[in-house]
Copies of this chain bind each other. A is one copy, B any other.
Amino acid sequence: MSIHQRLQSLGIALPSLGGPFGTYVPAKRVGSLIFVAGQIPMKEGKSLANGPIPSVCSIEQARVAARQCIINGLAAVHAMGPDMLQKVAGVARIGAFVLSDAGFTQQPQVANAASELLIEIFGDAGKHARVAVGVNALPLNVSVEIEMTLMLSEG
């Protein structure tokens, strides 16, 4: 099954990118790697989760948002070219930054939603190294921001 078929079977439609992006790009290829910029959980122009966890945003909301970050990242890869997503052979690393109240310690539960989606889409090749940390402030007050490093097939 192709990645696009896999997304379809999961009920995921890739959004088109907001752009233009001023001063950086949403994804940059370097040899057989793609660095995907830190994604925020925008869906149809609105963030799916705002504010620190758990005082303002619940873990469950943040998990939905983490999933959206991944979808937006894959949309960024798709925007690089019509067959780019199909060339993705796996996921190397994700960095998950979780807007946290001091003392909140369940960043992995939030990041798991992103990791699980990558495995649903890419199978075992979607398993990745991960860093998940709390932060006290994020752009636009979103509750989670996730960057990815993807691997391309050499072919």
Q: Are B24 and A127 in contact (CB under 8 A)?
A: yes
When distances are taken between beta carbons in the complex, the residues of chain B under 8 Å from A36 are: 129
Interface size grouping (class) on chain A? 35 or more
Q: Are A31 and B30 in contact (CB under 8 A)?
A: no
Could you say which of B25, B105, B127, B128 contacts A139, with CB atoms under 8 Å apart?
B105
Across the interface, name the chain B residue whose C-beta is closest to A142.
B105
Q: Answer whether A136 and B134 are a contact pair too, CB < 8 Å, given A24-B129, A25-B129, A31-B32.
A: yes
A residues 19-43 touching B (CB-CB < 8 Å): 22-28, 30-33, 35-38
A7 located at the interface, meaning its Cβ lies under 8 Å from any Cβ of chain B in the complex: no
6 examples of A-B residue contacts, CB within 8 angstroms: A22-B115, A23-B112, A23-B115, A27-B129, A35-B92, A35-B93
Q: Answer whether A24 and B104 are a contact pair too, CB < 8 Å, given A135-B135, A135-B136, A136-B135.
A: no
Additional A-B contact list (5), CB under 8 Å, known A24-B130, A103-B141, A105-B140:
A24-B111, A24-B128, A97-B131, A131-B145, A134-B135
